[in-house]
Structure 1
Amino acid sequence: MFKANTLLGDRIWSPDSANRLTRGLVLSVAGSMFIAACARIQVPMWPVPITMLTFAVLFVGLVYGPRLAAATVSLYLAQGIAGLPVFAAGSGIAYLMGPTGGYLLACLPAAFVAGTLAQRGWGTQAGRVFLAMLAGSFIFYLVGAGWLAGFVGPEKAIAAGVVPFLVGDALKAMLAAALLPAAWSLLPRDA
């Protein structure tokens, strides 16, 4: 059973609005632009750069919920596949099939899991937001490093595709755990 009003996106712009399609389109486009901007914030490394992509994807999941987050991430991936410069470095299907492709493909299940957790009440309290972010990060590691292992082998995939990201992802989880409860505190209690 889902709790009512557990998604920040629903509290800010109710899905019961007169034009649900417009709401979905506007939020998906805005979310995909947020993800694209965060993907460009990076520390260059090889074979996988450290970016704010994972933060943005999981944050969108926690704010939008599973379905709207999945639609938003799908739009983001489609933009990149179509050649728009939304990925960290590069675009197109060839880029998606490269060493970082697994991390991009992980965006969809990671956002969905974060959104599902938020829908179950994990998007309002700092501790739960932190844990939801870590759960999403685990999906990125599993899918991304699994894919990367096909290029560099399992040991190097863990060394290059997981270990360097652990501290950064913990910091991203702390950032989300600070931002989401703060955003909730700004909303009127009766909304």
Structure 2
Amino acid sequence: MKTSGFTVRGITLSAMFAALLVVLSFVNIHLGFSPVPITLENFAIMLTGALLGARYGLFSIGTVVVLTAIGLPLLHGSGGLALVLGPTGGYIWAYPFAALFIGMIAPRIRGGRTKQIVLTFLTLEVFGSLMLYVTGVPWLAHTYHMTFQKAMVAGCYPYLIGDAVKAFAGALIVVSVRQWISVSGRRAVAGHSAAARNTTLS
């Protein structure tokens, strides 16, 4: 069943990954020198884009951001314009686009397991981490009236290693899930073929 180009299955999966983002947003560590916490939000975005693809990834994460902007306390228990226009707003705005770009690239990655892991890691690192700082750091500098260099220290440098770890973990999960789906699909096809042959012989 399709609704405006979206399938019920796709919408259901989008809701599940949106819930994953909401849940993981509560896992955060606040640093004393920065208003930007260490968070697992971008880990959820990496998985969403890579596993749902561009359309549903954008839909899933975009829905959370829009609902948060209009006041629902979805991201670490907060919501409203005060959050999305606050110091971390620049990162939040980029979330849907990160999922979109990851979803455009990651599902098309082919090759052996090692190659897939490396290319998926690079995709998640570039769009699920580095891209967020493109809007996040300048907005942090603007809202806190600090220089760009100070904003980089407060809102970028301390998080890069953790982001790389999340991207690598995400790559392992994504590639493993895809391989499992592929194997399950082949087994299902083989089972149907065997059943069809048995029916024909009988």
Q: Spell out the pairing of 1:163-178 with structure 2 (5 A cutoff).
A: 163-178=157-172
2:199 corresponds to: none
CA distance in 2, matches of 1:56, 1:122: 22
Residue 136 of structure 2: aligned partner: 144
* Runs of 5+ consecutive residues of structure 2 not aligned to the other structure: 190-202
Which residue number in structure 2 is paired with residue 126 of structure 1?
117
| Counterpart residue type for residue 142 of structure 1 | V
AA at the equivalent of 1:133: L
Structure 1: give runs of 5+ residues left out of the alignment: 1-17
Flag the structure with more relative contact order, 1 or 2, with Cα contacts below 8 A and sequence separation at least 6: 1
Alignment of 1:1-191 (within 5 A): 18-19=1-2, 20-45=6-31, 46-88=34-76, 90-121=78-109, 125-136=116-127, 137-151=129-143, 152-187=146-181, 188=183, 190=186
Identity of aligned residues (%): 30
145-154 vs 48-57, greater mean Cα deviation? 145-154
Q: Which has the higher helix share?
A: 2
User: In structure 2, what is the Cα distance between the partners aligned to 1:75 and 1:68?
Assistant: 10
CA distance in structure 2 between the aligned counterparts of 1:161 and 1:88, rounded to whole angstroms: 18
1:87-146 per-residue CA deviation (whole Å, 9 max, x = no partner) reads 135211121100000010010211111111123226971111110111111111111112
Structure with bigger gyration radius: 2
Q: TM-score, structure 2 length as denominator? A: 0.79
- TM (norm. structure 1) is 0.84
Aligned residue-pair number: 174
Q: Is the 8 A contact 1:32 1:72 kept in 2?
A: yes
**Amino acid of the residue matched to residue 21 of structure 1?**
T
The 1-side partners of 2:107 and 2:173 are apart by 17
Indicate if the aligned counterparts of 2:43 and 2:167 stay in contact, CA closer than 8 A: yes
Distance 1:63 1:100 in 2: 26
